Structure 1
Amino acid sequence: MTHHISRARLIALLGVGGLALAGCSAVGAGDEATGTSTSASGEQTSTAGGTVRLITHDSFALSEELIAQFEADTGLTLEQVAPGDAGSMVNQLILTKDAPIGDVVFGIDNSFATRAIDEGVLAPYTSPALPADAAQYAVDEAGSLTPIDTGDVCVNADDEWFADAGLELPVTFEDLLEPEYADLLVVENPATSSPGLAFLLATVGAFGEDGWLDYWAGLRDNGVAVAASWSDAYYVDFSGPSSEGDRPLVVSYSSSPPYEVPEGEDTAPTSALLETCFRQVEYAGVIAGAANPEGAQLVIDWLLSPEVQADIPGSMYVYPVDSTVALPEDWARFAPQAASPFVVAPAEIAANRDAWITAWTDTVIG
C-alpha cells in the first residue's frame, strides 16, 4: 500500500509510542485434548503452538505488549517478514505463490488488491470479528482480503510558511495550478511510492479518465517537484518543522499534522488539504497454500480486535477500520478524515494502473 516506511520513520523521529494496552484477556487453563484454552473474556483460542508467519510491509508496527498477548492467548509464535513496501510485498507474494513464504499478509492496499487476488495468492476468509461498517471496503464477494485500517493521502501545507509569506492556503486541486503556488508543491513518484500512486489516483477520481493527465501537465508547468519516496518528499523537500526543505506543500497523510505539534502546545503548524484526498485501505489476507492457515485466520481476527484497532492510530498513524474505536484526542482536532475523499474502483485500478503510471511518467518526468 502504501509507502508505510513513512509512518515507521515518523515513529523513530518523533518518538510517538503506541497507545496503552487496555482490556486484554489473560490466558486461562488449557485443554490439551482440544488444543484450546479459555481466556478471561470467555473466548476459545488455539494453544497448539507453532509459528505463524506474517508477511508485511516495512512499517508494520504494533505495541509489543499486544504481540506478546496474542502469542500468550494462542500459543503461537508470530514471525514477521518484511520484504519491502506494499508494492514489493505483493510482487514477492506473486513470485513465490507456488512455494508460499508465509501464512498471512498484512498491508496490501486498494491500489494493489485486485492484482493480488487475480494472481491467486490469497485464500478466502471472512472473519467473525469484521465490523459491519467495514463491508463498504470489500474488494470481492469471496472475502479474499479483510480491511484493517484506512488512511487519507492528501496535500499537506506548512501553515507557518504561508502565514509568514502572507499567502492564503490553497484548498482544491485547481488552486494548485494558480501562479501564486508555482514551485511550492512536491509529490512522490507513483512508480516508486505508494502515497505517490494514491495521489495520482486522487487526480483520476477528481478529473476522470479524460482530464487527469491534463491536470498533471498543468502541475508540471507550475513547477511541481517529484521525489522518489515519501521520506524524501517530507523530510528533504518539505519546509515543515520536521523537515529540511523549502517547499511548503507536500503529499502526505491527513494524520501527519498531529505529530508536528510541539510538546506542550495545542496548535498544529501543518494541516491537510482535505479536498485533495484519496482514501487508502489496508487489508490482511490468508496466503493461498499457507502452512498454517488456522494461525493465519487467528492473526486476522486479532488485527480486528478492539485492542489492536485502538493501537493502530498511535502505532501506524492510520485510522482503524472499526469506526466504534475511539481515536486519540488530538486526532479530532488535527487529523480529521476527508468528508468526501476521491475514490477509484479497485477493478479500474487493476485495469489501468500500469498504463496510468507510464502516462504520468511520460508527461511529468519526460
Structure 2
Amino acid sequence: MVKASSLALAVLLAGLSGTAHAQDKPVLTIYTYDGFASEWGPGVPLKEGFEATCGCTLNWVAADSSIGTLRRVQLEGDSTEADMILGLDTAIAGEARATGLFADHGLDMSHLSLPGEWTDAQFVPFDYSHFAFMWDTDTMDAPPSSFEELIALDDDIKIAIQDPRSATPGLGLLLWVKAAYGDRAPEIWEGLAPHILTITRDWSESYALFLDGEADMVLSYTTSPAYHIFDADDHTIKAAMFSEGHFPQIEVAGILKSSDQQDLARDFLAFLTSKEGQANIPTTNWMFPVVDLEAELDPAFQGLPQPEKTLTLDEAEITANLAAWIDEMLAAVQ
C-alpha cells in the first residue's frame, strides 16, 4: 500500500509538473476570420509550423469576418486578449490604422512579391488576389469584358454580390467600381441593379447561389478557379477579365500595441511571410502567396489570367469617403 501510494503521488506530481510547464509557455493570441482558423484553412498548418519552433502556444480566436475582428478589438480596447489581428485588408487598413491600436512591425518586407511595392510600417501582407466575376463555360458562351458590357446584357443575366458593410469582397467591389469610374460610379450601380439577384451578407452564401445555378455570375477572386481545378479538375469556372482593370485585395496582419508578446508576434509575422509559412496559403486560402514560391506553387494556380491593369485608391481617400460611397451604392441598387 505504501509503495502504491508513493507511486500514485509520484504520477500525480509528474502530471502537475507537466501542466505547470505547459502553462509556462507564452501564448500568442490572434484574432482572425472563421475561414482562416477552420480545420480546412491555413490556420492549422501555420499553427503547427510556428509552434514547432517558437516554444509557444498559438491561439486562434475566430470571428465571422475580418471586419468583425476589428470591431471586437475596438470594443475591447486595451483590455483585449488579442496580440494581433490577421485578415484585415487594404480596404479597411486606413480605418484600422486610425484607431491607434496597432504597433509598427519593424520587419524588412523587401522580399515580398505583390502588385506594387510594399512599404507599410504597421501592416504585413500575407496573401492577395484581384476581385473578379466568376462565370461557368457550361452556362455562358462568353463573359462580359467590362462593367458596361455586363450592364448591356439582358436583364435575365443575374449576378450575386456581397454587402460592403459586412463582407470584404462586397467592399472590394464598391472600391473597384469607384476606382474604375470615379464620379460615374452611381451610373454604373444603377446599370447593374437589374442584374443583381441578391446582395448577401457574406461571400459563401453568394458563391453557393452561383454553384447551384441560381446566379449566372458571382463576385469572387481571380484565384477562385484554382480551387475547382485543384479539387475536382474542373476547368469550367473562370474569372471574367475586365478591360477597366481590377481592384486587388491584399490581406494583412498587424500587432496590437496592447500586446505583451511583441517579440513573439514579430516572430510569427516573419514566419508567416517566409517561404515555409507562405507554402500553406495557396491551397487552403485560395489566394496568391506574397513571396515567389516558384516550383512549389501548385499547378492549379499556373496559367490563371491576371489583370493587365491593377486599380488603386489612396488609403486616406477611402477612409474619408467610404461611408458616403456605401450610401451611394445602396441608394442606386435598392
TM-score range, shorter chain: 0.7 to 0.9
Counterpart residue identity of residue 322, structure 1 = V
Deviation of 1:189 after TM superposition, in Å, equals 1.8
User: Given that residues 73 and 80 in structure 2 are in contact (C-alpha distance below 8 angstroms), is that contact kept between their aligned partners in structure 1?
Assistant: yes
User: 1:53 matched to which residue of 2?
Assistant: 29
C-alpha contact 2:134 2:218 (8 A) present in aligned 1: yes
Q: Secondary structure at the match of 1:56?
A: strand
**1:172 to 2:172 alignment:** no
Shift in Å, 1:311: 1.6
Counterpart of 2:8 in structure 1 is none
**Are residue 154 (structure 1) and residue 113 (structure 2) matched?**
no
The DSSP-based 3-state class of the residue aligned with 1:284 is strand
Distance across 2 between alignment mates of 1:117 and 1:264: 40
Query: Aligned residue pairs: how many?
Result: 304
Q: Which amino acid aligns with 2:302?
A: A
TM-superposed deviation, 1:201: 0.8
Residue 262 of structure 1, CA deviation: 8.3
Contact 1:195-1:251 at 8 Å conserved across structures: yes
Aligned to 2:301: 331
8 Å CA contact retained: 2:45, 2:280: no
Which AA in structure 1 matches 2:161?
V
| Amino acid paired to 1:160 | D
Deviations 1:58-86 (A, max 9, x none): 12132745422311211011011112201
Quick one: structure 1 residues 220 and 139, their matched pair in 2 at CA, closer, same or farther if it must change by over 3 Å? farther
Structure 1 residues 66 and 139, CA, compared in 2 at 3 Å: closer, same or farther? closer
Query: Which 10-residue stretch deviates more, 185-194 or 224-233?
Result: 224-233
Q: Contact (CA 8 Å) 1:97, 1:288: kept in 2 or not? A: no
Q: The residue matched to 1:282 in structure 2 has which SS? A: strand
Percent identical: 26
TM-score by length of 1: 0.77
CA contact (8 A) 1:155 1:277 kept: no
**5+ residue gaps in structure 2?**
1-23
Q: Work out the CA distance in 1 between the residues paired with 2:71 and 2:117.
A: 22
- Contact kept, 8 Å, 1:50 with 1:76, in 2: the verdict is yes
Give, in whole Å, the separation in 2 of the partners of 1:133 and 1:307: 15
Please point out which of 212, 228, 235 is paired with 1:268.
Answer: 235
Alignment match, 1:39? none
Aligned partners of 2:215, 2:239: CA distance in 1, in Å?
Answer: 15
Q: 1:122 aligns with which of 102, 105, 120?
A: 102
Q: 1:347-358, aligned counterparts within 5 Å?
A: 347-358=316-327
**What does the per-residue CA deviation read over 1:23-77, in whole Å, with 9 as the maximum and x for residues that have no partner?**
xxxxxxxxxxxxxxxxxxxxxxxxx831111111112132745422311211011
1:136-189 Cα distance to aligned partner (Å, 9 max, x none)? 45474xx111111112111111111014xxxx3211111111133643222112
Looking at structure 2, the residues matched to 150 and 234 of structure 1 have their Cα atoms a distance apart, in angstroms, of 19
C-alpha change, 1:135 and 1:51, in structure 2 (3 Å) is farther
- 2:291 is matched with 322
* 2:160 alignment partner AA: V
| Amino acid paired to 2:165 | A
User: What one-letter code is carried by the residue in structure 2 that aligns with 1:189?
Assistant: D
Partner of 1:110: 90
Residues 122 and 285, structure 1, Cα contact 8 Å, conserved in 2: yes
- Residues 223 and 195 from structure 1, CA distance in 2 versus in 1: closer, same or farther, beyond 3 angstroms? closer
CA contact (8 A) 1:104 1:299 kept: no
> For 1:152 and 1:114, how far apart are their aligned partners in 2?
19
CA contact (8 A) 1:182 1:224 kept: no
Tell me, in whole angstroms, the C-alpha distance in 2 between the residues paired with 1:283 and 1:251. 21
State how far apart, in whole Å, the 2-side matches of 1:137 and 1:270 are: 31
Question: Partner residue of 2:217?
Answer: 249
Compared CA separation, residues 222 and 306, structure 1 to 2 (3 A): closer
Q: Superposed, which structure 2 residues align to 1:187-198 within 5 Å? A: 187-198=161-172
Matched residue SS, 1:214: helix
The answer on whether the counterparts of 2:136 and 2:238 sit within 8 Å (CA) in structure 1 is yes
Q: Secondary structure at the match of 1:289?
A: coil
> How big is each residue's C-alpha offset from its partner over 1:108-142, in whole Å with a ceiling of 9 and x where there is no partner?
101110111111110001224652545945474xx
Q: Quote how far apart the aligned CAs of 1:324 are.
A: 4.9
- The match for 1:78 among 50, 58, 63 is 58
Q: RMSD across aligned C-alpha pairs, in angstroms?
A: 2.3
Equivalent residues in 2 for 1:298-313 (5 A)?
Answer: 298-313=267-282
Name the CA distance, whole Å, in 2 between partners of 1:329 and 1:251: 23
Q: CA deviation at 1:220?
A: 1.2
Return the TM-score normalized by structure 2: 0.84
| Distance in structure 1 (CA, Å) of the matches to 2:196 and 2:94 | 34
Mapped to 2, the partners of 1:133 and 1:281 lie a distance apart of 12
- Equivalence for 1:292: 261
1: CA distance, partners of 2:49 / 2:237: 36
> Relative to structure 2, which stretch is displaced further, 120-129 or 57-66?
57-66
Q: Is the 8 A contact 1:62 1:308 kept in 2?
A: no
